[in-house]
Structure 1
Amino acid sequence: MRLGTGRHRRTGTLSVATAVVVASGAGGVYLGLSPDGASAAGTTVTVSTAAQLESAVGNAVAGTTIQVRGGTYYPTRTLKSAANGTSSARITLRAHDGEKVRIDGAKLAAGSSLAGIDGDHWTVQDITWQNSPALGFVATSSVGGVFRNLVTADNGDSGFTLRGDGTTDNLVQNLRSYGNYDAAGHGRNADGIGVKFGSGTGNRIVGARLYDNSDDGLDLWQFSSPVTVEHSSAYGNGKNRWKDRAFEGGGHGFELGGGGASVAHVLDDNEAHGNSSAGFYVPGARDGL
């Protein structure tokens, strides 16, 4: 639960600093990313190396689709973007059709997250985010995000995080998040999914499986707006699987508030079992669920 920051919203989109316009006309603009050779046609970019992936994410603009070929990628820096899509021209980051993609944080500097999205109207799907030294996937003050069929596993803090004021109308669907553990905090911060330190309506978590994390399955710590959680399960959280002699993992299945926030969250058809503490824990939620 405990640690986190928000941000001030930035407007506009990132410029495509390394994109080269090759041709334009009635058929649209065709882009080629340089110098690493990621191929592009129209607004679709296909990447097959970590360098291409870093470049494509950093240079995405409204309407860009980034297709990642199957394999394991080891970026050397956080995959970051503050670019905004729109409701009709989303920014999409996804695995190439039917291919298995893993983004691995083994080469990141200490304290680095795997992905940090600060923009609106992103779709991210069908990708595993693993072995980050810190947070796995983070979306800050994002609007209209769709995060579907993701896995966040064995990261050094929470697997998946929504945070910041203005976090609005995001859908997290079919997330599987497990094995996340923060050694520096002796397990007290790493949740399967955290919606923390912020506000914003219309956020939904549907079909999540949150298990074997050092702290909680789901943590809504200091998030001051209602969150809807449906058809999700949390189990095996808060158990010391890391042989940490000073282990402090909380181990709630669903921690529904805390830190002063009193919010009526909405839960429907969820289950919790085998956690080290309460399955459903409601600190400070005086207004009910």
Structure 2
Amino acid sequence: MRTERSMRNIMRVVVILAVLLLAASPASFAKATTVSDYTALKTAVTSAKAGDVITIGSSIACSGQIVLSASGVTLQAKSGVTPVLDFSAIGDKHTGTAGIGIYVTGSNNTIQGLIIQKAGDNGIKIEGAGNTIENCILRYNGDTGLQISKSTAANNTIKYCDSYRNCDTATKGENADGFACKLSAGKGNQFIGCRAFQNSDDGWDSYGMNNDVTYIDCITWHNGDKSITGYAGNGNGFKLGSKGSTGKRTMTRCIAFDTEYSGTKGFDQNNGVGSVILTDCLSFDNVEGYQLDKVKSAVMKNCREFGCQKNELPNGGSITIVTDKSKQAAIRKAVKAVCSKIEANCEADIITGQVNLDLPN
């Protein structure tokens, strides 16, 4: 027979266990799931909770979109595999959100090591906060490869991603950029080490964007070439705003070149009136290197240009024109060698990731 003391001890143990269960963090119940088909992927994402890790073990033909509404989830490639998520089955949808490949409405999620292609609209669209997209390729989508928009989309980080050959047939190439942070997106979004090329519209677009955006070690080239995408929009490099838009654009070691197709400008304010801080940036082989004359304030430090016909600089802004032909050739060779390698890797389903580009002074 149990004594009163033993009963008290049992109750004490029960209470302690209950407290420990209540105090346990959600991460302690996290799941690790590996998937290799669309049904399993959609089920895993739909039921995901904070701390869950979903690993994709093979390429998947997606019969519909993936909506990541949870927060604190990791969606990643299996080690040694570069999965291609093909959203061709979505069809050519440009209204609403149904045409998006991966639609991220949750926050603090991570997506890494994937190739996202052939969505009817954006390859990835982000409307949540604090998300990280890393080492991904966005290509052949019916609108911008990766877009950040809506006021809730703040403090997102896009790292070492490539976005190319995105084209919107419905508007004849006018909207499909490599990357976009636009349409009243929130504060603190940043692009680090990303590359945008051969898109029907611009490399980057910040249309209707009044909050700050940061770009570090980003490169864009050869957008707006109708012979590649079938349609051509503006084809500029970094489009930093739109008529009357404000906000700060901070750019460090960014490069824009080869915008001589439908576009003309390497760095383009697009009638925005915000502020710019450009450090160690480079524009070459463009019709117009820097078109920033309407910004309200500017800091330009060690920015260079060559092979361009003109520049429109802001008050307080200055650049160095590289006139030495041998130095021009050395810079051009170094940049194009890296970019050619990136293009080849993308077409071979190889994710390049971070690159280090040391240019001649």
TM-score, normalised with respect to structure 2: 0.64
Q: 2 CA distance for matches of 1:130 and 1:189?
A: 17
Confirm or deny that 1:109 pairs with 2:97.
no
- How many residues were matched structurally? 244
2:162 equivalent to 1:204: no
Separation in structure 2 between the aligned mates of residue 170 and residue 197 of structure 1, nearest angstrom? 15
Which SS does the other structure have where 2:42 is aligned?
Answer: helix
Q: Is the 8 A contact 1:192 1:210 kept in 2?
A: yes
1:82 maps onto 2:66 in alignment: no
**1:114-144 CA distance string (max 9 Å, x none):** 110101110000000011122111111x111
The answer as to whether partners of 2:158 and 2:190 remain within 8 angstroms in 1 is yes
2 CA distance for matches of 1:103 and 1:183?
21
Shift in Å at residue 199 of structure 1? 3.1
1-structure distance, mates of 2:131, 2:266: 28
Structure 1 distance, partners of 2:116, 2:50, is: 23
After TM superposition, give the deviation of residue 272 of structure 1 in Å.
Answer: 0.6
Say whether 1:125 aligns with 2:112: yes
Shift of 1:91: 0.7
Name the counterpart of 1:14.
Answer: none
Structure 1 residue 98, shift from structure 2 partner: 2.2
The C-alpha deviation readout for 1:189-229, integer Å capped at 9, x for no partner, is: 00000111123222110001100000000001112101000
Conserved? CA contact 2:30–2:49, under 8 Å: no
Report the Cα offset of residue 60 of structure 1: 1.3
Larger Rg: 1 or 2?
2
Unaligned runs of 5+ in 2: 1-20, 94-98, 277-361
Report the Cα offset of residue 77 of structure 1. Answer: 1.1
Instruction: Indicate the percent of aligned positions where both proteins have the same amino acid.
Output: 26
Contact 1:166–1:198 (8 Å) recurs in 2: no
Moved more, 100-109 or 228-237: 100-109
Whether 2:38 is the aligned partner of 1:50: answer yes
Map 1:31-180 onto structure 2 (within 5 A).
42-70=30-58, 72-83=59-70, 85=71, 90-111=72-93, 112-140=99-127, 142-180=128-166
- Name the aligned partner's letter for residue 60 of structure 2: Y
TM-superposed deviation, 1:42: 4.8
Relative contact order: is structure 1 or structure 2 higher (C-alpha 8 Å, sep ≥ 6)?
Answer: 1
- Give the counterpart letter for 1:67 in structure 2: T
1:270: Cα distance to partner?
0.4
Cα distance in 1 between the residues matched to 2:242 and 2:274 = 13
TM-score normalised by structure 1 residue count: 0.80
**Bigger proportion of residues as strand:** 1
Q: What pairs with 1:234-245 in structure 2 (closer than 5 Å)?
A: 234-242=220-228, 244=230
> 2-side partners of 1:243 and 1:205: how far apart?
24
Which deviates more from structure 2 when the two are superposed, residues 223-232 or residues 131-140?
Answer: 131-140
Whole-Å separation in 2 of the counterparts to 1:113 and 1:69: 22
Give the helix-richer structure, 1 or 2. 2
Name the aligned partner's letter for residue 265 of structure 2: A
Deviation (angstroms), 1:242? 4.9
Residue pair 1:264, 1:285 contacting (<8 A) in 2 also = no
Which runs of no fewer than 5 residues in structure 1 stay unpaired?
Answer: 1-24, 29-40
> Aligned-residue CA RMSD in angstroms?
2.0
1:231 aligns with 2:213: no
Letter in 2 for 1:272: A
Deviates more, 1:225-234 or 1:191-200: 191-200
Say yes or no: does 1:252 pair with 2:239.
no
Equivalent residue letter for 2:80: G
